[in-house]
A and B are shown apart, each in its own frame.
Chain A
Amino acid sequence: MSLGSIFDIAGSGMTAQSLRLNTTASNIANAETASSSTGETYRARKPVFAAIQQSMLNPSQQGLAFASDESPGAGVRVEGIVESDAELQMRYEPDHPAANEDGYVFYPNVNVVEEMADMMSSSRSFQMNVDIMNSAKSMMQRILTLGQQ
């Protein structure tokens, strides 16, 4: 319970958002990666976020009732990355080197418009966490000047 833990919280938010930005970059980069079968085709990847509770970090408190309810939380973590199971795009391109015997190629199920919106959202959230960290820093610096003229 101190200003120091705000750095951890904002830091965990920044880590999570930059990972989200990473998946977005990967999705957009692979938006046109065609292949000849559904199994090999790239699928859009999405991170799954979950809140960290203080009791997870402090196992000694786990026995206490109300412990998880009383903690203000300790940031966000990435629980995993899931692949979208939306339908792949099947296009008829017989000239494509990866076309199958019927002349079809499979394109990833990446929705570029959605990815761009996701990118804006994650970069905004990242900035917000940086702002929080800056505020915590100036609050901490103020404390250091306590009692000075």
Chain B
Amino acid sequence: MAISLDGALGIHQPALEARIKRAEVLANNLANADTPGFKARDIDFGAMMQKAKQDMNGLGMEKTHDRHMDISSMAPDSELLYRVPHQPSVDGNTVDTQQEQSRFMRNAMEYQASFQFLNGKVTGIKKALSGQ
């Protein structure tokens, strides 16, 4: 049996990457909390994990040039979406600061959870390698 480190780490590595990407999107929302006309965005985490699962199964397309387009990002239901505002302000800004901040904090916690899982995997592999 061939040893594949990617396979051993499972879904947790793309999950951690998705958390980082979401943190970036939410940080951008918060930085633009006072920008007129700015539309708050968020990542559809489910769609992103679906894509990661597909990539793990080898169904993704390989890119050999940095200008090659990813077929999944051309799909209309791409994972980076616009938020539906509860209380849109007069200047067209749809960032709800408190909500975004709570989402950011929650995302940071979920990031820690993903990290714990990944760390557990790594520790497990190390234990197996040392043969104790």
B-binding residues in A (CB < 8 A): 1-3, 5-6, 9-10, 12-13, 16-17, 20, 48-51, 60, 64, 66, 69-70, 72-76, 121-122, 125, 128-129, 131-132, 135-136, 138-139, 142-143, 145-147, 149
Contact = CB atoms under 8 A, between A and B. Distances in A.
A139 B24 contact: no
Contacts of A136: 23, 27
Nearest to B79: A70
B28 A75 contact: yes
B31 interface: yes
Question: Interface SS of chain A: helix, strand, loop or mixed?
Answer: helix
Question: Interface SS of chain B: helix, strand, loop or mixed?
Answer: helix
Contacts of B31: 9-10, 12-13, 16, 75-76, 129, 132
Given A139-B111, A146-B118, A1 B34 contact: no
A139 B23 contact: yes
Given A2-B20, A51-B32, A70-B78, A147 B27 contact: no
Contacts of B73: 66, 70
28 contacts: A2-B24, A6-B24, A9-B24, A9-B27, A10-B27, A10-B31, A13-B33, A16-B34, A20-B34, A49-B32, A49-B35, A69-B78, A73-B28, A73-B32, A75-B28, A76-B34, A122-B34, A125-B33, A132-B30, A135-B23, A135-B104, A138-B108, A139-B108, A146-B115, A146-B118, A146-B119, A147-B126, A149-B123
Contacts of B80: 69-70, 72
Nearest to B108: A135
Given A12-B31, A70-B80, A135 B105 contact: yes
Contacts of A16: 31, 34
Interface in B66-84: 67, 69, 73-74, 78, 80
B35 A1 contact: no
B105 to A, nearest CB: 7
Contacts of A121: 34
Given A64-B69, A147-B123, A3 B115 contact: no
B101 interface: yes
Nearest to B105: A135
Contacts of B24: 1-3, 5-6, 9, 72
